[in-house]
Every structure is written in structure tokens, then in C-alpha cells.
């Protein structure tokens, strides 16, 4: 068994790429509310959608890399308690799940309007509207994802305060 001090380069790369993409996707997402979903505004929605689907694909690759390189991960952190361990593991699993669910629901929401035919050269559907239930689900999934990220980042800093050890070097590109 090899002893690594850092996560594999590929996982580090995807971690920070996902982080930057999420910042941009969130920002664009919040501005979308002010725009009607029509052919003229399609590029705005498209950019949000393409970056969102990129996060989904990156997350599937990331899960695969994690599983196949499980012998190349750094040693487990020092958990404060059994509860802390269960909490950290759950937050990591939930992050993966919501990095897939949020874009997936977004994609289904757009697909359901029939607007993808426009991307394939067809006409933009008349009075395209998002299904209210799917929109709510997308908003809930995105909200949960944001909350998980806040808890995750707080956890990294609290760990430093409690143990004096920084976890950042394990996830650092340099
Ligand atoms: C979009 C935002 C973020 C997501 C979705 C995310 C997700 C994750 C996940 C799933 C892991 C577990 C390791 C893995 O499977 O790759 C992880 C580890 C880590 N993240 Fe993040 N992260 C985000 C932002 C941040 C930020 C802003 C920081 C900076 C404080 C950070 C610092 C770390 C560190 C230091 C680790 C390694 C923890 C360890 O040593 O086990 N993350 N992150
Ligand atoms: C990680 C991926 C994603 C994140 C974090 C995200 C985030 C957001 C946010 C914050 C909003 C604004 C919600 C509101 O306040 O009403 C939004 C709206 C929206 N998202 Fe996403 N999104 C993601 C992926 C996707 C994908 C892949 C699609 C489609 C393929 C999509 C389609 C939409 C649409 C159409 C809206 C606008 C709904 C409206 O007009 O109010 N999203 N998204």
C-alpha cells in the first residue's frame, strides 16, 4: 500500500475546476430569472446548461477515478469522533450526489420544454415554459448543493482550528 500525502493530480484538478465552474454557473443561474426563455436569450441559457452538464460529466469521471485510484488516496484525516467521521463521509457522498442531481434536473427541465430541437436546427418551441415542479426541484437541489459546499469549506477551516493541521496541501495543485 502506497502512502500518499496528496490526492491524485486528476482529482485535484477536477476539484478546483468544478469549484470555478460552480461559481460561474451559480452567477449565471441567478441572472437567468430576469430573462425570458426564448430564441433571442438562448445563448445565456445555453452557457449555463453547457457548464452545468460539464460539471455532471466531471463528477462521473471523478467518482470513477476515486474508485479506481482508491489505493492512491492520502491517509484518512484524524476524525474527532465516530460522529465526525460519519458526518464527513456523508457530506462527501452528498456532494457527489448533488453535483449530479442538480444539473440532471436542470437538463430534464430544459429538455421538457422541447427547446433542444432548436439546438438541433429546428424551430424554437412556441410559448416554451419550464415545468414549475422541475424548476422547484432544480432550485432545491442547487440550494442543498450550496449548503453542502458551505458546510464542506467550514469543515476544512474548523479542522485547522481544532487540530492545527491544514488539509489544503492535500488538495493543492502546487
Ligand atoms: C464547488 C465547491 C466544492 C466542492 C463540490 C468540493 C467537493 C469536495 C469533495 C467531494 C471532496 C472529497 C475528496 C474528493 O472526492 O475529491 C473534497 C475535498 C477537499 N476540499 Fe473541497 N469542494 C469544494 C470547494 C472547496 C473549497 C472552496 C475548499 C477550500 C477551503 C475546499 C477544500 C477541500 C480540501 C482541503 C479537501 C481535502 C480534504 C481531505 O484532506 O480529505 N473545497 N472537496
Ligand atoms: C451544477 C450545476 C447547476 C447549478 C449549480 C445551477 C444553478 C442554478 C441557479 C442558482 C439557478 C437560479 C435559480 C433561481 O433562483 O430561480 C438556476 C436556474 C436555471 N438552471 Fe441551473 N444550475 C445547474 C445546472 C443546470 C443545467 C445542466 C441546466 C440545463 C441543461 C440548467 C438549467 C437552468 C435553467 C433553465 C434555469 C432558469 C430557470 C428560470 O428561468 O428561472 N441548470 N440554475
Q: Over 40-68, what HEC string results?
A: HHHHHHHHHHHHHHHHHHHHHHHHHHHHH
Q: Which residue has the higher pLDDT, 93 or 116?
A: 93
Query: Alpha-carbon distance 152 to 146, whole Å?
Result: 10
Q: What is the 27 CA–ligand 1 centroid distance (Å)?
A: 20
pTM: 0.95
Tens of pLDDT, residues 51-93: 999 999 999 999 999 999 999 999 999 999 999 999 999 999 9
Residue 3 CA: distances (Å) to CA of 7, 15, 78:
11, 21, 16
Residue 125 CA: distances (Å) to CA of 41, 67, 95:
13, 42, 34
Q: What is the 34 CA–ligand 1 centroid distance (Å)?
A: 32
Q: Is 100 exposed, middle or buried (0-12, 13-18, 19+ CB in 10 A)?
A: middle
Can you give the pLDDT at residue 55? 98
Q: What is the 48 CA–ligand 2 centroid distance (Å)?
A: 7
Q: Terminus-to-terminus CA distance in the chain, angstroms?
A: 24
Q: Are 138 and 102 in contact (CB under 8 A)?
A: yes
Using 50, 70 and 90 to split pLDDT, how confident is the model at 3? low
The residues spanned by each domain of the chain are 9-171
* Residue 1 pLDDT greater than 60, yes or no: no
Q: Is 46 exposed, middle or buried (0-12, 13-18, 19+ CB in 10 A)?
A: middle
Can you give the pLDDT at residue 134? 98
Indicate which atom in ligand 1 lies nearest the CA of residue 145.
5
Amino acid at each position: 500500500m502506497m502512502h500518499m500525502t496528496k490526492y491524485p493530480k486528476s482529482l485535484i484538478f477536477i476539484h478546483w475546476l468544478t469549484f470555478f465552474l460552480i461559481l460561474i454557473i451559480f452567477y449565471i443561474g441567478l441572472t437567468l430569472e430576469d430573462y425570458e426563455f426564448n430564441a433571442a436569450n438562448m445563448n445565456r441559457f445555453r452557457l449555463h446548461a453547457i457548464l452545468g452538464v460539464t460539471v455532471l460529466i466531471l463528477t462521473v469521471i471523478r467518482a470513477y477515478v476515486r474508485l479506481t485510484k482508491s489505493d492512491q488516496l492520502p491517509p484518512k484525516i484524524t476524525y474527532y469522533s465516530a460522529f465526525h467521521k460519519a458526518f464527513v463521509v456523508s457530506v462527501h457522498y452528498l456532494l457527489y450526489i448533488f453535483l449530479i442531481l442538480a444539473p440532471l434536473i436542470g437538463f430534464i427541465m430544459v429538455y421538457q420544454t422541447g427547446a433542444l430541437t432548436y439546438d438541433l436546427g429546428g424551430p424554437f418551441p412556441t410559448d416554451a415554459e419550464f415545468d414549475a415542479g422541475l424548476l422547484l426541484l432544480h432550485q432545491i437541489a442547487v440550494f442543498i448543493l450550496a449548503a453542502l459546499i458551505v458546510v464542506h469549506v467550514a469543515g476544512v477551516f474548523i479542522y485547522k482550528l481544532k487540530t492545527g493541521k491544514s488539509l489544503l496541501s492535500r488538495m493543492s495543485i502546487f
